Amino acid sequence: MTSKTLYQKLVDSHTVRTIDEQNVLLFCDLHLMNEYTSPQAFTGLDERNIKVPMPGQNVSVVSHIIPTHPVAVRVISDKPSALQATNLAKNCSKHGIPLFDTNDAMQGIEHVVAPEHGMIRPGMVVICGDSHTTTYGALGALGFGIGTSEVEHVLATQTLVYRTAQNMRIRVNGVLPKGTTSKDLILMIIGQIGAQGARGFVVEFCGTAIDALSVEARFTLCNMTVEAGSRGALIAPDQTAIDYVLAKCPDIVGVTREHALSHWKDLYSDKDAEFEKEFTFDASNVEPHVTWGTSPDQVLPISGKVPTPIQVAPEFKRSTEQALAYTKLTAGDAIEGTPIQHVFIGSCTNARIEDLRAASGIVEGHKVAQGVRAMVVPGSGAVKQQAEKEGLDKIFIDAGFEWRKPGCSMCLAMNDDVLTDGTRCASTTNRNFEGRQGRGAITHLMSPAMAAAAAITGKITDVRHFGN
């Protein structure tokens, strides 16, 4: 038997047939859909006059266009957006696909909802018309994003024509220091390997720093690995992952449980498995990280200074100049102390309960700085309920935060949570692209604790020294 990486094992166990040297027909265990990347795919099915063959392996969520105002019953007032939601409900009902609709108590962002209700299990292949589907690698499931044509393909056949990726391993030794999180770690890694450093690869993370992460912290790590251009992220499921899964999956009991545990034991890369590319990092010196530019790899440790176009490698000169022009920062200035006007805590990257606990821990007993608007948008109904049970909502509201309903919200500003031109935002999201949070708005990516500290001081702040 030849040695295989975990990635190769997952591809092999889902290969229906080999198409050619590069492509296989890949079976997809779970297909997640949202309201905006699926409509044209359903239309394609209608044109072919076919029904979804395995509806129970599919699920839909209204997530991207939904308003997050704290009202009892949500109404989508934007007409085209409302049509996307009703159209999704119509399509799901027609094909028998489960749906978390606008006013479902458990509605939320697809990548928060799916794992919290036990839909993600080790060894699965999970796909979605959304790039952040890499999240599920945290549980040893191969997840990746697809376009709408491929959504149609999966709906029609529960498979994908899949071009296999190369294998990359990123080992992270040491343990993350206090005040830093997996968000800081992945921002550091993206900064080191670049926004296309993992293009063509599925990245497997390993090492003591990864072992020490909670499952939710691993979600954040794998979620943002796509920002290095990767086609997937994986962490071999260990006891931490399995405990999480079993707690969410009441159906996996008795004989099934024994069967599943023995199956999941094989989900690791063989000792001699070959990785085409490997990196090793040390977590013990990682600082809190903040982006300064318009690509997630334009990132600095909090003690860092905004780079000058001359300092960077020649191939980055142009993008550095363009980014500085957009973010209105001065080369050579410290990133710490940069004034912000908005704080957004939310998104599929950082809107889970542990994220809200971390942020509320900083906020407690303080007030949002004058001139700053700060909001928390929980990742899902379940996260929101749990936070309210723990009284976190009260901490945020008392400090002057807006406590919103779940959705993608200002991560991509497809609903009415849009920043105005020139507004600078401390954001727990995943992309600092030009105009992402609103035309002319400037995004600084950071961890929930860092964003919380920025809300209180009104400027980018080193959370390690906050309150000293």
Partner 1 sequence: MYAISETDMSTIKKIQGKATPIRIDNLDTDQIMPKQFLRGIDKSGLIEGLLYDLRFDTKGQIKPDFVLNQTKYKDANLMLGGSNFGCGSSREHAVWGLLQFGVKAIIAPSFAEIFYSNAMGNQLLLVSLPTEQVENLMQLAQRTDAPEIVIDVENSQVTCGDLDPMHFEISKRHQEMFLKGVDVVGMSLSYMDEINTFARKHWAREPWVKDVAALAKSRLA
- Residues 53-72 interacting with partner 1 (rule: CB under 8 A): 53-59, 65
Between vectors from CA 451 to CA 135 and to CA 402, what angle results, nearest 5°?
95
Using CB under 8 A, which residues numbered 300 to 319 contact partner 1?
A: 315-316, 318-319
Among 98, 339, 365, 391, binds partner 1 (CB under 8 A): 98
Using CB under 8 A, which residues numbered 165 to 194 contact partner 1?
A: none
Among 101, 103, 148, 458, binds partner 1 (CB under 8 A): 148
Length of the chain: 468
Identity of the residue, 383 or 412, whose beta carbon is nearer to partner 1 in the bound complex? 412
Closest CA to 34 of 95, 106, 108: 108
- The C-alpha atoms of residue 39 and residue 170 are separated, in whole angstroms, by 37
Helix and strand numbers, DSSP H then E, in the chain? 15, 19
- The C-alpha atoms of residue 392 and residue 380 are separated, in whole angstroms, by 15
Collapsed DSSP state (helix, strand, coil) of residue 220:
helix
- The C-alpha atoms of residue 395 and residue 392 are separated, in whole angstroms, by 5
Size of the site for partner 1 (CB under 8 A): 96
Dihedral (CA of 234, 59, 380, 458) sign: positive
Tokens of 192: 């080191």
Using CB under 8 A, which residues numbered 439 to 458 contact partner 1?
A: 439-440
Under rule CB under 8 A, residue 260 binds partner 1: yes
User: 411-448 as b/e, with b when 16 or more CB fall inside 10 Å?
Assistant: bbbbbbbebeeebbbbbbbbbbebebbbeebbbbbbbb
- The C-alpha atoms of residue 314 and residue 250 are separated, in whole angstroms, by 55
Q: What are phi and psi of 15, to 5 degrees?
A: -85, 115
Specify the stretch interacting with partner 1 by CB under 8 A; choose among 271-279, 338-346, 387-395, 407-415.
407-415
DSSP for 194-229? -TTTTTTEEEEEESHHHHTS-HHHHHHHHHHHGGGT
Do 421 and 427 contact (CB within 8 A), yes or no? no
Q: What are phi and psi of 378, to 5 degrees?
A: -60, 150
Identity of the residue, 134 or 240, whose beta carbon is nearer to partner 1 in the bound complex? 134
Identity of the residue, 350 or 409, whose beta carbon is nearer to partner 1 in the bound complex? 409
Under rule CB under 8 A, residue 40 binds partner 1: yes
Task: Supply the minimum distance, in Å, between the C-beta of residue 91 and partner 1.
Answer: 9
Specify the stretch interacting with partner 1 by CB under 8 A; choose among 148-156, 276-284, 383-391, 444-452.
148-156
Residue 37: CB atoms within 10 Å: 18
Among 177, 200, 304, 309, binds partner 1 (CB under 8 A): 200
Task: Supply the minimum distance, in Å, between the C-beta of residue 363 and partner 1.
Answer: 29
Specify the stretch interacting with partner 1 by CB under 8 A; choose among 35-43, 302-310, 363-371, 456-464.
35-43
What does the per-residue mask of binding to partner 1 show for 230-259, with x meaning CB under 8 A?
A: -x-----------------xxxx---x--x
Task: Supply the minimum distance, in Å, between the C-beta of residue 68 and partner 1.
Answer: 15
Under rule CB under 8 A, residue 94 binds partner 1: no
Task: Supply the minimum distance, in Å, between the C-beta of residue 301 and partner 1.
Answer: 21
Using CB under 8 A, which residues numbered 268 to 307 contact partner 1?
A: 294-295
When computed from its CA atoms, the radius of gyration of the chain, rounded to whole angstroms, is 21
Q: Where does residue 183 fall: left (phi above 0), alpha (psi -120 to 50 degrees), or beta otherwise?
A: alpha
- The C-alpha atoms of residue 156 and residue 42 are separated, in whole angstroms, by 9
Under rule CB under 8 A, residue 216 binds partner 1: no
Among 52, 112, 138, 146, binds partner 1 (CB under 8 A): 146
Using CB under 8 A, which residues numbered 102 to 131 contact partner 1?
A: 106, 117-119, 121, 123-124, 129-131
Specify the stretch interacting with partner 1 by CB under 8 A; choose among 303-311, 334-342, 367-375, 411-419.
411-419
Task: Supply the minimum distance, in Å, between the C-beta of residue 49 and partner 1.
Answer: 11
Q: Tell me, rounded to whole angstroms, the distance of Cα 131 from its chain centroid.
A: 9
CA atoms within 13 A on the CB side of 259: 6
Q: What are phi and psi of 31, to 5 degrees?
A: -120, 120
Under rule CB under 8 A, residue 27 binds partner 1: yes
Under rule CB under 8 A, residue 362 binds partner 1: no
Identity of the residue, 95 or 305, whose beta carbon is nearer to partner 1 in the bound complex? 95
Under rule CB under 8 A, residue 50 binds partner 1: yes
Among 233, 290, 348, 413, binds partner 1 (CB under 8 A): 413
Under rule CB under 8 A, residue 386 binds partner 1: no
- The C-alpha atoms of residue 183 and residue 427 are separated, in whole angstroms, by 12
Under rule CB under 8 A, residue 434 binds partner 1: yes
Task: Supply the minimum distance, in Å, between the C-beta of residue 303 and partner 1.
Answer: 25
Specify the stretch interacting with partner 1 by CB under 8 A; choose among 140-148, 210-218, 278-286, 302-310.
140-148
Tokens of 200: 């063509």
Among 9, 14, 169, 444, binds partner 1 (CB under 8 A): 14
